[in-house]
Amino acid sequence: MMTKIIKILLVSTLSLIFIFLSTAYFGLHLSLPKLSGQFRSGHLFESVTIERDRLGTVIIHGQNRQDVAYALGFAHGQDRFFQMDLLRRNSAGELAEIFGKKALKLDKSRRFHQLRKRAEKTVAKMDPKQKLLLQTYANGVNAAVAEQNLSSFEYLLTGTSPQKWQPADSLLVIFSMYLDLQGNTPKRDMALTQIKRLYGEQMLAFVTQNSPYQAALDSSILPIEDILTPELEPQLLATALMSTIEEPIDIGSNNWAVTGALTMSGRAMLSDDMHLSFGVPIIWYRAQLNYPSATGETIQVTGVSLPGAPAIVVGTNNKVAWGFTNAYIDTADWIAIDENELLTTEIEVIKLPGSLSSIKYPLLLSKFGPVKRVNGQDYALAWVAHQDYAVDMELLGLETISNVQEGLALATSFGIPIQNLMLVDSKGNAAWKPAGAVPSRTNPANVAQSPDSFQGVLWGIDETELPQVLNPEHGRLWSANSRVISAEEFSRFGDGGYALGARSQQIRDRLFESEQFTEQDFYRLQLDNKAKFLTPWHDYLINLLSDEPVRFAKDIQFIRDWQACACADSVGYTLVRSFRAKLLDASFAPIETGLKQINVSLSPIKRYLEPAMWQLLEDEPSSWLPEPFLNWNKFAIQAYADSTQELLDKHSDNGALDSLNWGKVNALRIQHPFSKQMPLLSTLLDMPTVTGFGDSFMPAVQRSSFGASQRFIVQPGLESQAIMVIPGGQSGHPLSDYYRAGFDEYANHESTPLLPGNILHKITIQAVN
């Protein structure tokens, strides 16, 4: 009898599971957008078409730019609406409305900037043509969402409903990029401010000394000065707690260009790969826009768009191509204020799930900006994203330019986070210029300023006098998030968190190894994973472990055989890289311990510590050497032993060094945000895990969930030879054919074409007058 009951229960349970899975699968199918067919709209002047090829590239044909914006909004709404929703909510501080109290901390940090209010204020004052474009784009987005039979699965899982897209939401998407690309700048300056307060000017100078890794376009060098190693007080060493100083995600990019003198065609050539955190879906969206200009000329723009905005961010119009890297010019300052400063309080209401549930978040404001208290001191933040000129749609002007010179003239008008704009054209010209919002104040600072130093009027003016380089004599341009401007210009524009410069140097040196280039040459350079930066660390570690050759015999062999690259099968690379990070953590633990007590960290400036770390190894100061170590070699050996044991604990089942190959330790894992919370969904939602390749400090930037979010190479006018590779598909729907399309090529270092292929789907949207 009991056996029969168990069988009945088992059959019933399996039946319920089958019904649930069938219902879920059927529901997912119902939420798939319709990619072929006829639609009608009263928001169009003329009919438009939306086509898709095997990669899901959206090809739009329209009779004017407004209708094309509607069609792009429609395509974005079909494939990426939930991603767009997260981007606008991220910058507005409205994620808790979907995800509940666990998102409150992030929402509060975003509300500090009041970006929704700023976006709505900007739209209200916007040029009517741009405002109409944003409204038309929003109409397209909302039409696509309205056409769905069932809300996408993300809304079903969270029990929420999609809210209509508004023109201000497109600006919030740009503000999300500000938070990604410049969010570390205020953290960096606050860390340096507190280092100065807690440990003095000498320590500040020690941790910020100029690096030998410099690759400015004019070859200028910031001086490498003799900075005395500061003495550590015994109490600091005695109370130090070992912890991991998190490596900052080096949000940025590589780009470089050569003039037509260095290509067979005589056309200039551009390479651009933007480095961002990975997720599913990937942030970029392949698109081609086709429409007539005011003079009747056919405009064709091909590249990648950012879902949520009606522009091609990186691409080509067959005459000119453009790409960006984060410029890291200083665009933020803290102002130390006292109790006499007039402050006001505004209440930010943060909604929680459920229409009646919310919390009130009080925000202190000053005439300088929003206020934060750190270590008993109030600081106000002045940031370019808070200015009226921070966001606009001027980037669309690139679509219709005919040459590099026209692009240079437009660059200062863009309302985007300041970028290194690289331009090339079909006539062989190549140029670089900072493009985006830059305050006109002339006294950027690494640490908090006094109110008397604050140039309030100049903060309100967008700088128009920016440096540029056009057609250098040697025919080569490069940028990779380190200093590009001259040493003289550096004092004017400051340091907003520059990369160390090793990556830029490697790119520059590779470019000077040849006198002629093809697209495949550039692609190989994008995949260059040679470990030039870590070579001194490799040599140091070999010599260090030679003090105990028996104990470290296997380690030494693996390190000797490291191949000098971030190669998938290299164990030695893993050991060297991990050792460097652990030695930095151990050496600067006294400083990090004090900073953590006031909720600050060395993390935003960890890459700055490279020169200071080598100085410690050279000087071997006793005041920095913790007990019970007798000398610095013993201390460094223990750091190596600790780092290796941590690797084995995390990545090895049998404690064997040969299991620590870099491809496994740095495996590429691109996850959907939901699978991180619900691992059972991983198979359905995530990209396949693949062997890791590349690292930081080299052109082939790749960490487990970070790296080149696209790889783009083009000679304007020869787009049929151009490359565009993206680590993920166009669609955010897991049952779509376009959910993973293109990922395998990216993972296997194969190239996919920029131009669309054979058309598989076509939508026609007819204008209803």
H/E segment holding residue 632:
helix 632-651
Left if phi > 0, otherwise alpha if psi is -120 to 50, otherwise beta: which for 728? left
Contacts of 667 (CB under 8 A, 6+ apart): 689, 690, 691, 692, 704
737 among annotated binding-site residues: no
Token output for 371: 């206020």
Could you give the residue ranges of the DSSP H alpha helices within 329-452? 404-410
Tell which residue, 635, 584, 583, 577, has the closest CA to residue 608: 584
Looking only at the bridges linking them, the beta strands covering 430-435 and 706-708 are: unpaired
| DSSP result, 614-634 | HHHHHH--GGG--TT-SSHHH
CA 180 to chain centre: 6
Contact 382, 460 (CB under 8 A): no
Q: Catalytic site residues?
A: 253
Q: Rg of the chain over CA atoms, in angstroms?
A: 27
Single-letter code of the amino acid located at 752:
T
Residue in this structure with the two tokens 């909604």, named with its chain if needed? 351
| CA gap 354, 249 in Å, rounded | 35
Looking only at the bridges linking them, the beta strands covering 761-767 and 37-41 are: parallel
Tell which residue, 327, 372, 10, 336, has the closest CA to residue 178: 327
| CA gap 398, 412 in Å, rounded | 12
Residue in this structure with the two tokens 């380690």, named with its chain if needed? 555
For the CA atoms of 411, 417, 418, 420, the dihedral, rounded to the nearest 10 degrees, stands at -80
| CA gap 709, 96 in Å, rounded | 27
Tell which residue, 497, 453, 510, 499, has the closest CA to residue 696: 499
Token output for 342: 């007039």
Dihedral sign for Cα 611, 615, 618, 621, please. Answer: negative
Contacts of 72 (CB under 8 A, 6+ apart): 58, 60, 137, 140, 287, 289, 305, 310
Token output for 668: 């590429």
C-alpha pair distances (Å), 682 with each of 159, 271, 673: 20, 33, 10
b/e map 301-318, b = 16+ CB within 10 Å:
bbbbbbbbbbbbbbbbbb
330 among annotated binding-site residues: yes
For residue 397, the 8-state DSSP code is G
Contact 251, 181 (CB under 8 A): yes
Contact 334, 380 (CB under 8 A): yes
List, as residue ranges, the binding site for Ca(2+): 330, 333
List, as residue ranges, the binding site: 330, 333
